Structure 1
Amino acid sequence: MAARTVSFGIGFRVGGSLSLLALLAACSEPLDLDMRGLMNGGFNTADAARASTAPRPAADNRGVISYPNYQVAVARRGDTLAALAARVGLPADELARYNGVQSGDTLRAGEIIALPRRVSEPSPATGATTTGPIRPSSQIDITTLANDAIERSAPTPAAQRPTPQVGTEPIRHQVERGETAFTISRLYNVSVRSLSEWNSLDSNFSVREGQYLLIPVVTQAPAPREVAPIEPGRGSPTPQPPSASQPLPTETPAAAAATTQAATAAAAAAPPVANVGTQTAASASNAAMAFPVQGSIIREYSKGRNDGIDIAASVGTTVKAAASGQVAAITRNTDGINILVIRHPDNLLTVYTHVDNITVAKGDAVSRGQSIAKVADFEPARVHFEVRKGFDSVDPMTYLR
């Protein structure tokens, strides 16, 4: 028995080693050295490796990549943190503290350094082909198409404006103690190779505590795994049927009936309460503008994130002009969403989207409160309303109160 046990152990070690070497030779992904989560049938990174990710956006001459919520800088070959800080115009010690490094440390070419506060936006003056942060295409479509339509309708077209960059803002992950590139890639279901390419990790895929990493943007998710169908009723207990020996009473007890009637009367007397957002109210007579529809504000204004307000309204609700003016443009974005723009005095514009059945045409004069469209069938049904001073968005509520 003892000899048989020894023989088995030697055979297992030799066979296991050969199998492991063959596996490593055939594997196209880096070896997960910590192996956490892979034993006993744990999480497998194969699906993450098959996910397709977009390339990292190009930086300007300073190395700055800008998003609505944060900015990062990309190091050059031979850069120290102090040199990068001087190039982007931030104090070296502040940049070092924020990223958990020393100001004299040498950086790898392409390494990502998070900026603790915003610097000037990329523009043609800094070597970028476009101006401003990288924004989602849904926002860019509305802004760009409306601006282009307005410029074409103006008596003297404005100078050609650079088109803002379009893209998805990636998640910015700060490395915590004990995390590795492999555990982080599994956390976000991306391949460790993509994570390394986006952040220019070294050959050992080393990360440090406090380091900021950009999580690659997935452009094509892995195919879902096939799951064997479950027979109906399998795995769930059969509920106990109600007893037929004790039928329900045919009459409600007097005390219960009185309580029910009182509760019903109280509910009828209580005013309805909006369950989402702030409820719009009729604008004051001296307000510069009126709400295009009445309903709950389900998304508030946030410059750079939401350049207007979203007001919930039933499909088919009449959309009214917020103020008197002239229809400057009627167009639609790549998603088929209609965009209606009205020009007002003092270089003001109002923008209405998620509408259909538009009843006005370009060049028409409209008056405040005039019907211009209907709420389109979207989920959720709403009107997106913007106010712009020239081409810059402003908070619509300052004109609606």
Structure 2
Amino acid sequence: MAVSRVSHGSVFRVGTSLSLLALLAACSEPLDLDMRGLMNGGFNTADAARAAAAPRPEPDNRGVISYPNYQVAVAQRGDTLASLAGRVGLPADELARYNGVQTGDALRAGEIIALPRRVSEPSPATGAVTTGPIRPPSDVDITTLASDAIDRSSPTPAPDRAAPQTGTEPIRHQVKRGETAFTISRLYNVSVRSLAEWNGLDSSFSLREGQFLLIPVASQAPPQREDTPPPPGTGSPTPQPPSSSQPLPEVTPAPAAAATTAAAAAKPVANVGNQTAASASNAAMAFPVQGNIIREYSKGRNDGIDIGASVGTSVKAAASGQVAAITRNTDGINILVIRHPDNLLTVYTHVDGISVAKGDAVSRGQSIAKVADFEPARVHFEVRKGFDSVDPMDYLR
């Protein structure tokens, strides 16, 4: 009887292959199917395959996605380069040369075509939410959020519109000879699947030399509350204690009469560090909470005042009016807006437990919310003439 001879090396290779197949069959995690170099300790893209990528922004009706530094167009089903060029308003041959394709080439639905120069910005007229390029979330301020919310809650609301698109501008990569979807995903530590979804790649992940790809950006982690303690060892440095050998300098108080005259002539400003006093009965508005003013008004830098108060303290309406909007910013901080006569708005943030709803009539001194659990606990209070911020102290004294 003939006996087959199998070397130990062959048995090891067969066993290793079977073990690898069994491991792949049992694995429930998403896999990067590019296994090249894995057995020799090569770069492992499993972490990239598991990383969550944000969804690609929605284009306008022309297919245009606009960022501050470049624009791209997203092909629709049945598009050729020529039909896409006609839709965005660029010469087909210029678009073809820039992307390394022919004017008559068919495009896959969702395929990204880079624009060699800017076309008109997306706008409501082209099916976009707002006019202009996609901006970072930090560029969308309380004014924008409040105005959108007020428009939606107005008795005669503006046409329905979603919140402005925000996001990080992705890297735009041009494919070089010899590159594959796998090598590019390893280069930027993203999954091949998300690279394909963002760029409309086919099932084989095929690329062409000169093609532009958008590199997916990571999805944003849940916003971290301001009261989350910092990592160990990263706290504020311990302040230097006063020296016992150098007493504090003596301060000579100004004469009472002079102080009174100066105070009368001065414009009312936030007395930072001091306790708020009850507003006079003839003041236009009342303080929403009583506490220390920890930050004063500075137009363009701090469009209101911050009043320190204990968590859970009742927040009261500064004046009678109607609740115009209740929304929140990208950090998950509640924003409550009340509309008053004479085109005035008051804005309250860092609040929780809101006890009123949009459209409710509120009276001066009525409880509308509670101080939220932030560090430091406070209420941020703004007064706006239209949407232009003004110094709240002009109304509180």
TM range (shorter): 0.5 to 0.7
- The one-letter amino acid paired with 2:122 is E
* TM-score calculated relative to the size of structure 2: 0.52
- The one-letter amino acid paired with 2:372 is A
Counterpart of 1:224 in structure 2 is: none
Counterpart of 1:158 in structure 2 is: 156
Q: How does 1:225-236 map to 2 (within 5 A)?
A: none
Are 2:122 and 1:121 aligned? yes
Are 2:184 and 1:197 aligned? no
Task: Report deviation, 1:352.
Answer: 2.6
Query: Do the aligned partners of 1:315 and 1:377 also contact (CA within 8 Å) in 2?
Result: no
Counterpart of 1:248 in structure 2 is: none
- The one-letter amino acid paired with 1:193 is R
Query: Do the aligned partners of 1:134 and 1:165 also contact (CA within 8 Å) in 2?
Result: no
Counterpart of 2:324 in structure 1 is: 329
Are 2:208 and 1:213 aligned? no
- The one-letter amino acid paired with 1:148 is R
Counterpart of 2:232 in structure 1 is: none
Query: Do the aligned partners of 1:108 and 1:200 also contact (CA within 8 Å) in 2?
Result: no
Counterpart of 2:151 in structure 1 is: 147
Residues 297/65 of structure 1: CA separation in 2 closer, same or farther (3 Å cut): farther
- Cα distance in structure 2, aligned partners of 1:310 and 1:34: 58
Segments of 5+ residues of structure 1 without an aligned counterpart are 1-5, 152-156, 222-258, 270-280, 284-288, 303-307
Counterpart of 2:308 in structure 1 is: 314
Segments of 5+ residues of structure 2 without an aligned counterpart are 1-5, 223-241, 252-267, 271-284
Residues 9/373 of structure 1: CA separation in 2 closer, same or farther (3 Å cut): closer
Task: Report deviation, 1:333.
Answer: 5.4
- Cα distance in structure 2, aligned partners of 1:330 and 1:18: 62
- The one-letter amino acid paired with 1:147 is D
Are 2:352 and 1:351 aligned? no
- The one-letter amino acid paired with 1:74 is V
Task: Report deviation, 1:62.
Answer: 0.4
- Cα distance in structure 2, aligned partners of 1:379 and 1:70: 39
Q: How does 1:159-308 map to 2 (within 5 A)?
A: 159-165=157-163, 169=167, 172-175=170-173, 181-182=181-182, 185=185, 190-202=190-202, 203-206=204-207, 211-215=212-216, 218=219, 260-261=243-244, 282=269, 294-296=293-295
User: Secondary structure, in 3 states, of the residue corresponding to 1:87?
Assistant: helix
Counterpart of 1:254 in structure 2 is: none
Task: Report deviation, 1:263.
Answer: 7.0
Counterpart of 1:32 in structure 2 is: 34
- Deviation digits for residues 205-224 of structure 1 (CA, Å, limit 9, x no counterpart): 53767934141664999xxx
Residues 119/320 of structure 1: CA separation in 2 closer, same or farther (3 Å cut): farther
- Cα distance in structure 2, aligned partners of 1:171 and 1:189: 17
Residues 264/8 of structure 1: CA separation in 2 closer, same or farther (3 Å cut): farther
- Cα distance in structure 2, aligned partners of 1:111 and 1:11: 46
Query: Do the aligned partners of 2:196 and 2:205 also contact (CA within 8 Å) in 1?
Result: no
Residues 113/381 of structure 1: CA separation in 2 closer, same or farther (3 Å cut): farther
User: Secondary structure, in 3 states, of the residue corresponding to 2:161?
Assistant: coil
Task: Report deviation, 1:173.
Answer: 1.9
Residues 364/172 of structure 1: CA separation in 2 closer, same or farther (3 Å cut): same
Residues 158/44 of structure 1: CA separation in 2 closer, same or farther (3 Å cut): same
User: Secondary structure, in 3 states, of the residue corresponding to 1:73?
Assistant: strand
Query: Do the aligned partners of 1:170 and 1:214 also contact (CA within 8 Å) in 2?
Result: no
Query: Do the aligned partners of 1:349 and 1:389 also contact (CA within 8 Å) in 2?
Result: yes
- Cα distance in structure 1, aligned partners of 2:246 and 2:183: 54
* TM-score calculated relative to the size of structure 1: 0.52
Query: Do the aligned partners of 2:350 and 2:372 also contact (CA within 8 Å) in 1?
Result: yes
Task: Report deviation, 1:326.
Answer: 3.7
Residues 23/294 of structure 1: CA separation in 2 closer, same or farther (3 Å cut): same
User: Secondary structure, in 3 states, of the residue corresponding to 2:87?
Assistant: helix
CA RMSD of aligned residues (A): 6.1
Query: Do the aligned partners of 1:353 and 1:385 also contact (CA within 8 Å) in 2?
Result: yes
Residues 65/290 of structure 1: CA separation in 2 closer, same or farther (3 Å cut): farther
- Deviation digits for residues 153-204 of structure 1 (CA, Å, limit 9, x no counterpart): xxxx325421315776355123378876435545776531122122113424
Counterpart of 1:340 in structure 2 is: 337
Percentage of pairs with the same residue: 49
Task: Report deviation, 1:296.
Answer: 4.9
Task: Report deviation, 1:343.
Answer: 3.4
- Cα distance in structure 1, aligned partners of 2:88 and 2:205: 29
Query: Do the aligned partners of 1:172 and 1:215 also contact (CA within 8 Å) in 2?
Result: yes
Query: Do the aligned partners of 2:88 and 2:119 also contact (CA within 8 Å) in 1?
Result: no
User: Secondary structure, in 3 states, of the residue corresponding to 1:172?
Assistant: coil
